[in-house]
Amino acid sequence: MNVRNYCKLEIMSLPENVSFARACVGAFASQLGCTLEEIDEIKLVVSEAVSNSIIHAYENRGTELITIVVSLLDGRTLEIIVEDYGKGIEDVARVLQPSYSSEPSRMGLGFSFMKSFMDELEVISRPGEGTSVQMRRSFVSKDNEAYA
């Protein structure tokens, strides 16, 4: 697929940067003429992926780097990649199970939301090296709806 437009964002692993990442990716995705509901879904999956990096990969150390790459591909496909360079995931299949959480105080719904709102989800991780969450969603033009 050809890249029609592209944006790369690097943020520190601070909780206050989650809303910034959401806003940036939401604004970028609005080029597709998405509905407000679709933009909210995109913002939610970005929020979940970035929060996972902060909480799990970096254990709330706010001095680390998270990279977010968002691309508009041929047609009307949005690709979002969220990468961290943290501790990685030992068993990716396990963390992708609904309601799985490594911490009992958490609900473990982040990847479930990502699967629900995106057409494709791939998680690539190497223990000790980091994790890449790659998501794609295609959008179809809709008539008579509110657009962002």
At which residue do the structure tokens 């601070």 appear?
14
Q: Is 83 a catalytic residue?
A: no
Q: Which of 22, 38, 41, 48 is catalytic?
A: 48
SS3 content of the chain, % helix, strand, coil (to 5): 35, 30, 35
Beta-ladder partners of 121: 135
The two three-digit tokens of residue 1, written as one number: 């697929």
141 SS3 class? coil
Given 22, 52, 79, 83, the catalytic residue? 52
Q: How far apart are CA 26 and CA 10, in angstroms?
A: 16
**Does the active-site annotation cover 52?**
yes
Within 10 angstroms of residue 60's Cβ, the number of other Cβ atoms is 11
Which residues have a catalytic role annotated? Answer: 48, 52, 106
